[in-house]
Structure formats: C-alpha cells, structure tokens
Amino acid sequence: MSALVLDGRKISDQIRDELRPRIDALVQLGHVPGLAVVLVGENPASQIYVRNKVKASQDLGIKSFQFTPPSSISTEELLSLIQSLNSNPEVDGILVQMPLPPQIDAQKILLAVDPTKDADGFHPLNVGNLVANRPAPRSCTPAGILELLKRNRIAIQGRHAVVVGRSDIVGKPMAFLLLNESATVTICHSRTVDLPAECRRADILVAALGRAAFITRDFIKPGAVVVDVGINRVTDPIVVAQLFGHDQSRLAAFSKNGSVVVGDVDPRAMAEVSSAYTPVPGGVGPLTIAMLMANTVTLAEQHCGSGTPG
C-alpha cells in the first residue's frame, strides 16, 4: 500500500476557512485583527517569506503593517520601533523576521516584544507556557505540524517521536508539543551518537536540521510517519539526478530553473519506506503561515475580551 501524502496546502486551507468567521466576529465588535511584520534589510529569502505572510493576511482580511528598516539600523532604533508597536492598539500580533543583521542583539529584540502580541511564540514567557503546557501562542511551524498530524488522524499518544534538530524555532518546541500529546520524545542533533539508529526507533520522525536529503533510507523505520521540515535549494545536477531521477516533473523544473527544492529527507526513501510523509514543497511550509494567522486572530480575540488565552 502506498504511503499517505500529508498535504499541507489542504490543511492550511481548512485552518484559514475556520478563521474567517472568527475574523468576521471581531469586525462586528469593531476591531480588525492587525499583524505587524518587521523585516530588517534586504535578505531575498526573508523578503519572499514576508511577502507570503502579508498576502495571507490580506486574503483573510487581517490588517497588515509592514516595516522595512535598513540593515544598518541599531538595536536601540529597532527597540524603539518594537515599543511603538507594543503600544499601538491596532496591532494584535508582532513578527520580527529572522535572521537579523549581526549588529542587532536579537535576544533583546525578542524580549522587547509584548508577550500578548507575540505572533511567533518566541518570547521566553510563551516558551515557558509551552513547557508548562499552558495556553499561549505556539511557534508556528511546530504548531502547524501538530495540526497536520491530528487532522490526518495520525496517533501520537504512546508513540515514539524522534526530532532531529534542536533549534528554538522548530526542534525544541516540536519536542514539547509532542510530549504534551503524550508521545515519548527523543531530541537528536549534530552530536548524537549513531543518529541513524536513533531515527530508526521513531514511529514519528521529524527532520529539521537544514541539510539537503541528509536523512536517507537507513534512518527510517518501515511504516514510520516522516515529517520533513527542511527547505533546501539544490543546484548540482549530479545530486538532482540522484534524488529525482525517478521524477520527470522535478527534473524538468531543474532544467528550467537551474535549481530544485528538496527537504532534509531523501524524497524517494521517504515515499517508499514511510506510512505517511510530508512532501517538499507543499507539506509543512503552508502550515507555518496558516498558524501565524491563527495566532494573530487568537491574540486579537484576547485583546477584545472575546477569546481564551492560547
């Protein structure tokens, strides 16, 4: 039996459709949800991400505030901008696009965001609420993955989950979200001894290490659910042929564009060995933005006194 493809676009559309009546209810109360996005400098990848986030906001009727200070901005100047957004009643959620230029103290900036406007779920207070399993904004990519698993009726309770990657944005919050769903969780990273053996123990394997097709067939237990968080652009034709020699559409895309996107898991191994998996693209990516919208709407409801924390 072929593996189930976990379609992130489909689940993202479901989440957005569920948000529309909530947004309409807020508008009826006289409040349009507002999301402020701060993009420092001109990082091309960040510009694409921000453009997609702004488009999603506009499509849903969420008011979008964009700020694009130059890459030369100081920590103090950026802190001043954050404070102005904290005090602006039209802004329900604040997102500071990472990475920031090297002269900026990123920790200071994250700490400066009002926790009740933390649309990304990165503030230490909200991270602490995640650890304590208390309601609060959750980091968007892990929260989206959890929605993807639940809405596809994939059992989590009692399963062994292995998370490869320990970043504050994906790896750590993913581990706690799975733990809060009563999975047994192992976190792996670059210093893990015999990583393939650890991964083969996983009923649910989440790959978030940022290395193209690093997770091969040898890492995947037959029948495991594989969630591939990676987005890596490959330009070497030999590597592309190795990864996508079986996929004429991807080879044609490479011939046209000179590059192709691949996740952290070997795509053929993932499709052939797993029981369910997320494609790249079209898996985890769309859910990150959907959960950002969900966080913003929930924060707006709290600010209007019409929602519960979380």
Query: Could you give the angle at the alpha carbon of 64 between the alpha carbons of 233 and 304, nearest 5°?
Result: 125
Query: Which residue from 11, 18, 15 is spatially nearest to 278, judged by alpha carbons?
Result: 11
Residue 63, helix vs strand vs coil: strand
Rounded CA Rg of the chain: 20
Query: Which residue from 194, 268, 198 is spatially nearest to 228, judged by alpha carbons?
Result: 268
Q: How far is residue 276's CA from residue 202's CA, in Å, rounded to a whole number? A: 13
Q: How far is residue 37's CA from residue 54's CA, in Å, rounded to a whole number? A: 8
Around Cβ 132, how many Cβ atoms within 10 Å?
10
What is the set of active-site residues? 53, 97, 120
Around Cβ 168, how many Cβ atoms within 10 Å?
13
